[in-house]
Copies of this chain bind each other. A is one copy, B any other.
Amino acid sequence: MPVNMISKFLEKAVPQLDVAPPVKIRASWRTGVLRNPNMEKLQKGYLFPEIGIKHEEHLKKYPDAKVISLGIGDTTEPIPNIVTSAMAKYALALSTPEGYQGYGPEKGHKVYSDMGIKESEVFISDGAQCDIARLQMLFGPNVTIAVQDPTFPGYVDNGVIMGQTGKVDDSGKYAGIEYMRCAPENAFFPDLSRVRQTDVIFFCSPNNPTGHVASREQLRQLVDFARRNGSIIVFDSAYSSYVSAGGGAPQSIYEIPGAREVAIEVSSFSKFAGFTGVRLGWAVVPDELLYSDGSPVARDFDRIVCTCFNGASSVAQAGGLACLSEEGHAAIQRVVGVYKENARVLVETFESLGKEVYGGADSPYVWVRFPGRRSWDVFAEILEKTHVITVPGSGFGPGGEGFIRVSAFNSRDRVIEACERLRSFLA
């Protein structure tokens, strides 16, 4: 639908335009503007559009293939009606003088105490990926960063764009970035005694792509490590709704004592409520988080948010609010449950085939090892033989080489069909 929508949109986007045809003054006109050297440093395309290109190429080669995507983490289940009704109601009210609303506030003001987080510390956004970009703008070119390896590629790519790194080496590592290896050998948690001090530590739990959920004890170690080193943690909890309640693993970094002074948290409604298209997320920047000069990080982040962004769509916010009502929350938890069951089916399938498989318990991602193989080769082979899209692990950093990520975001029927195909291929 959106493709069509955008087509029509564009046909009329600049109505009544009296357009001049392109002028052929030179065959290849160039401006004198130098390309941003940081953009030059970026490796190839961004991972997920690259997967989309492979998907399209495959469809050209096999026009009749029933391709099943367990690739990019795009949600597929309908959004509960209580949530979409709230958006519809809000949208319709925009046609009334009482309901019309223009620019929203950049952040809230009301203090509440039971969570230890003040409303003024929470910045409503259009998603965690966008907040990561804004946080990297906030930190600027001079900071050093550490990332889990493998991890969501946005932390590194935005750091490269901001000029925080040198060039990439043959192994796929950018000079200046500290890669914290997370592998079965260390139970997917880095040996912090061997991690170099950096200004900022990006940490994602449940991890994308490995599906590993950091335990309370591990997050305590991480917070202690940041405190000892004077670092700032950016904790990405976009998948926290997949963490089983009562399992002991924190859903937020602020469950750890001392985190308020060292940690920012970003999160999202995308995978929580199927808002990948609706767009809604938030970032928490506690008042106690200070730069070395004593100035609050939140003050500068507020400036970034006001200058570079104008708030999340008010209609999306209306939907987000409905997700947090008792009924809405129960409804979206049922959807999360569908994906978690998909993940369980995927794990079971790979295990029954004797594969080494991780994640998928408190996470929508299943991480499968193919020892001695290159990720992109495995990706290509699975696609060629089974018409199933996955994501090559090396796309998430050199530490992902030899793995593929399989996403649980699809209908149960398609996941079962994909498992049957994988079974006959891998058996």
Contacts and interface: CB of A to CB of B under 8 A. Distances in A.
Contacts of A261: 22-23, 25, 29, 31
Interface in A139-173: 139-143, 154, 157-158, 161-163
B91 A87 contact: yes
Nearest to A255: B18
B12 A310 contact: no
B130 A313 contact: no
A313 B140 CA distance: 27
Nearest to A231: B31
A100 B78 contact: yes
Interface residues of A, number: 160
B34 A293 contact: yes
A81 B102 contact: no
B231 A279 contact: no
Contacts of A319: 91
Interface string A81-94: 10111011101111
A180 to B, nearest CB: 18
Contacts of A108: 3, 6-7, 9-10
B74 A109 contact: no
Contacts of A9: 108, 124, 317, 320-321, 324
Contact of A277 (B102, B232, B278): B102
B46 A306 contact: yes
B245 A292 contact: no
Interface string A61-88: 0000000000010111111110111011
Contacts of A307: 46, 133, 154, 157-158, 161
Given A262-B31, A310-B126, A324 B231 contact: no
A427 interface: no
Nearest to A88: B88
Interface in A174-224: 199-200
B91 A78 contact: no
B256 A20 contact: yes
Contacts of A277: 94, 101-104, 311, 313-314
A31 B88 CA distance: 44
A393 to B, nearest CB: 19
Nearest to A2: B104
